[in-house]
Chain A
Amino acid sequence: DAGVIQSPRHEVTEMGQEVTLRCKPISGHDYLFWYRQTMMRGLELLIYFNNNVPIDDSGMPEDRFSAKMPNASFSTLKIQPSEPRDSAVYFCASTRGSGMNTEAFFGQGTRLTVV
């Protein structure tokens, strides 16, 4: 397996524009996580899904952020409208739920810059 695949790797956009980040989890994994990392706040869990259903979105910063998982092999994180303070590295991760926590595999991240 190629691991968790995120796209794009880098995104530069202007304030006010819509941004869509994409994630393909590892095949067979039924949990998917979105994290955001900044120097100030570290790694923050934004939202996670189980079997394509959002379980906990309490980390989503505000209504400008939305996440979807239309099927088991694809998820998106959308920011509309984007603001400079959204600049960060966004990571997607997936894991297999087996009753016990197993390791989560992270993608390489998308570095978002909002100017």
Chain B
Amino acid sequence: DAKTTQPPSMDCAEGRAANLPCNHSTISGNEYVYWYRQIHSQGPQYIIHGLKNNETNEMASLIITEDRKSSTLILPHATLRDTAVYYCIATTSGTYKYIFGTGTRLKVLA
């Protein structure tokens, strides 16, 4: 699985969009990009995943660059409850194996 690199921390004002970057320059053609988050000490929670097209669901949007070497998770209107550690994971479809890195600690400020 490709290594991912994320900034250790970010702040975002409540109500504004939170844009969380992830670098995965060694990603291979059959590896998907997954995003999970972990709120306080709860179990990680799935957010979204994609291969090469941009994806959107009720929680977030995922923008993957055309060369697939990086991606951005967008929380369109961040709330205080979005304060969490966000993990970007690159993994081969069908392996069902998620290796978590250190993630980005997002703090949403009132």
Contacts and interface: CB of A to CB of B under 8 A. Distances in A.
Interface residues of A, number: 27
Interface extent on B, as a size class? 20 to 34
A93 B43 contact: yes
Contacts of A45: 97-100
A42 B34 contact: no
28 contacts: A4-B43, A33-B98, A35-B100, A42-B103, A44-B100, A45-B97, A45-B99, A45-B100, A56-B97, A91-B44, A93-B44, A97-B94, A99-B93, A99-B94, A100-B93, A100-B94, A101-B49, A101-B91, A101-B93, A101-B95, A101-B96, A104-B96, A105-B46, A106-B45, A107-B43, A108-B43, A109-B41, A111-B41
Interface of B: 32, 34, 38, 41-46, 49, 87, 91, 93-103
